[in-house]
Amino acid sequence: MMNIGIQAAEETTHGATRVPAEWEPQEAIWMQWPGFWEKSYEPTFAQMADIISRYEKLHILYHSDQIYAEAQKSILDIDSDPLQNNIHWHNVPNDNAWMRDNGPVYVFNDNELRIQNWNFDAWGGAFGSDVSFNLDNEVPNKIGEILDLPVDHIDIVHERGNLEFNGLDTVILNWSTIGDPSRNLNYNKQQAQLDLKKYFGVSKVIFIEGIPNGDLTKGHIDGIARFIDQRTAVVVQCTTRSLCQPDSKDAEIYDKAAEIIEKSGFNVIREPIEGYVQYSGQTFDTNYMNWLVGNGFVIVPGFGNPDTDIPAKSRIEKYFPNRDVYLVEMLSSWAAGGGIHCHTNDQPAFQF
């Protein structure tokens, strides 16, 4: 996989605009440590920090001195070192622990790495009007200052979790998210096509459509379809063992997504949902799509259910044969709407 990404970067010509694929070489991964209303995520964040920092640089934003102290304690509690050389701490005020969505989109442009700051409004207000987001909306600017990178402001509300790139010429996203009127009023697909091609340098924009049951993000693509190389996408699939039965509305969304992607010229692998779990009064499918790819590793959200966790880990090891695959139980995060990919934001290595 890594060689494909390097090749894509080498083929980029002067003046080209390109968003690297996640499996390409990374400079670092960024996270926003959970604040007071997300404390239940801390054990999971400590595990993620421990794994990521074994392989590459990890930047962690914290909102206050108290959160910084609690973060260090959480990492020490699992016998890891919060002050090791690969972990870098930054006092940057923020509102939430879902940095995939409010964090930067990194773009290679004119032989330089730039940050795009798309507007963020806490998922179109899906979690209520009392959920703050103004600090989150400033995070890409703060990272630009830390890294001394130029920041381009995009006056469109969108989240990075709804963008899946093959690193060459294509982006897949869910129209139900970016076209949501509570995000972008009176926005249409034709304008979106033009905007996405302009800002990302892609020649192909693939829109899927539909909101899976209970998805407050209105269908982020990183729970539905993921590229694993330039020509292959994995798309989730309902089974008779999942809550979303093969003839359900959710199954129709996933099956249609697979059909659209395949008709666009890509190979499609279906990733089966083989069960469901109950946690904190909720019941949800064991959907493993929200994985994070890093330098030599993949972290997959786990559900504390060996009957589905073990086969899923085995499948994902086949998707990424040259990487170490870790499965981290994150039911607390999943109950709030996301997994490891949602909590992280990868910074590509500068390759020009």
Model pLDDT for residues 27-68, shown as the tens digit of each residue: 999 999 999 889 999 999 999 999 999 999 999 999 999 999
List CB contacts of 332: < 8 A, sequence separation 6 or more. 40, 41, 44, 279, 280
> pLDDT tens digits for 147-182?
999 999 999 999 999 999 999 999 999 999 999 999
Q: Which residues contact 139 (CB under 8 A, 6 or more apart)?
A: 32, 61, 92, 94, 99, 102, 103, 104
Which residue's entry shows tokens 């697909």?
189
- Indicate if the pLDDT at residue 11 is higher than 50: no
Tokens representing 165 are 């790139």
Give the total residue count for the chain.
Answer: 352
Q: Give helix 65-77 / helix 42-55 axis angle, nearest 10°.
A: 70
What number is the average pLDDT over the span 192-212? Answer: 98
pLDDT at 10: 36
What pLDDT was estimated at residue 36?
Answer: 87
For 198, other C-beta atoms within 10 Å of its C-beta total 11
pLDDT tens digits along 241-252: 999 999 999 999
How far is Cα 28 from Cα 52, in angstroms, rounded to an integer?
9
Model confidence at 15, pLDDT cuts 50, 70, 90, reads: low
DSSP characters for 275-290? -EEEETTEEEE-----
Predicted local distance difference test score (pLDDT) of residue 3? 34
pLDDT for 12 beyond 50: no
For residue 2, give Cα distances in angstroms to 7, 60, 196. 9, 25, 25
- Pairing assessment for the beta strands 276-279 and 267-272 based on DSSP bridges: unpaired
pLDDT level of residue 351 (50, 70, 90 thresholds): low
Mean pLDDT of 336-349: 95
88-99 per-position pLDDT tens digit: 999 999 999 999
Could you give the domains of the chain? 2-347 (3.75.10.10)
Rounded distance between C-alpha atoms, residue 127 and residue 300, angstroms:
25
Share of the chain above pLDDT 90, in %: 91
Predicted confidence at residue 129, as pLDDT, reads 84
HEC secondary structure over 163-231: CEECCCCEEEEEHHHHCCCCCCCCCCHHHHHHHHHHHHCCCEEEEECCCCCCCCCCCCHHHCEEEEECC
Token pair recorded at residue 100 = 């995939």
pLDDT tens readout for residues 273-307 = 999 999 999 999 999 999 999 999 999 999 999 99
